[in-house]
Amino acid sequence: MNNIAEWLPYASANWGPNDAIVTGKNKIAFQALYRQSVQFALSCLHHGIKPRDRVVLVAENGIEAVIAHFGVLMMGGIAVFIHPKTLPGTIADIIYDCDAVAIVADSTVTLQQLPEKIIKVAIEIQPTSGWIPYFQWMMQRREDEGRRSQLFPELSEEETALLIYTSGSTGKPKGIMSTHKNIRFTTDAINEFLRHNEHDRVLSYLPLSFDYGLYQIYLTLSRGAKLILRNAADLGTDLIRKVINDEKVTGLPGLRNIFSLIHVMKEKYPCVRYVTNTGDELPFEMVRKIGEKFPRSEIFLMYGLTECKRVSCLPSSRVYDKIGSVGIPIKDTRVSIRDESGEECAPNVIGELFVNGPHLCKGYWNDKDMTDRTYIRKSDGRWLRTGDYFYRDPEGFMYFAGRKDSQLKSRGFRIDCSEIENVFLKHCPRLKDVVAVGIPDSKLGHAIGLWAVTKEKIKSESAEKQWTNELKKIAEIFLEGWKRPRYVYLSDEIPKTKSGKTDKKRMVDTILSTRGDRTGKEEPLSTDPSI
DSSP secondary structure, 434-481, as one string: EEEEEEEETTTEEEEEEEEEESS---SHHHHHHHHHHHHHHHHHHS-G
Based on the domain organization, do 359 and 425 belong to the same domain? no
Which positions ≥6 away from 485 have C-beta within 8 Å? 420, 436, 448, 449, 450, 471, 475, 519, 520
User: Does a structural domain hold residue 371?
Assistant: yes
Query: What pLDDT shows up at residue 529?
Result: 36
The domain total for the chain is: 3
User: Does a structural domain hold residue 289?
Assistant: no
Calculate the average pLDDT of the chain.
Answer: 86
Q: Which of 245-254, 424-433, 510-519 is predicted with the least confidence, judged by mean pLDDT?
A: 510-519
Based on the domain organization, do 398 and 416 belong to the same domain? no
Task: For 257-305, write each residue's pLDDT tens digit.
Answer: 788 778 678 889 999 999 999 876 777 877 888 899 999 999 999 999 9
pLDDT (average), residues 461-479: 91
Are 221 and 31 within 8 A, CB to CB?
no
Query: What pLDDT shows up at residue 111?
Result: 73
Based on the domain organization, do 374 and 418 belong to the same domain? no
Rounded (10°) angle between helices 63-74 and 30-46: 60
Q: HEC states along 43-110? A: HHHHCCCCCCCEEEEECCCCHHHHHHHHHHHHCCCEEEEECCCCCHHHHHHHHHHHCCCEEEECCCCC
Task: For 291-344, write each residue's pLDDT tens digit.
Answer: 999 999 999 999 999 999 999 999 999 999 999 899 999 999 999 999 999 999
User: Does a structural domain hold residue 399?
Assistant: yes
The CATH number linked to 55 is: 3.40.50.12780
Instruction: Supply φ then ψ for residue 117, to 5 degrees.
Output: 60, 20
Based on the domain organization, do 133 and 18 belong to the same domain? yes
pLDDT (average), residues 441-466: 86
- Domain range enclosing 154: 4-178
130, 159, 178 - which closes a domain = 178
User: Does a structural domain hold residue 169?
Assistant: yes
pLDDT (average), residues 114-139: 60
CA distances from 234 to 27, 205, 206, 243 (A): 17, 8, 11, 11
User: Does a structural domain hold residue 67?
Assistant: yes
The CATH number linked to 362 is: 2.30.38.10
Instruction: Supply φ then ψ for residue 215, to 5 degrees.
Output: -70, -20
Q: Name the band, by pLDDT with cuts 50, 70 and 90, for residue 41.
A: very high
Q: Which residues of 300-311 are buried (b: 16+ CB within 10 A; e: fewer)?
A: bbbbbbbbbbbb
Pairwise CA distance, residues 11 & 227, whole Å: 13
Based on the domain organization, do 384 and 433 belong to the same domain? no
The CATH number linked to 413 is: 3.30.300.30
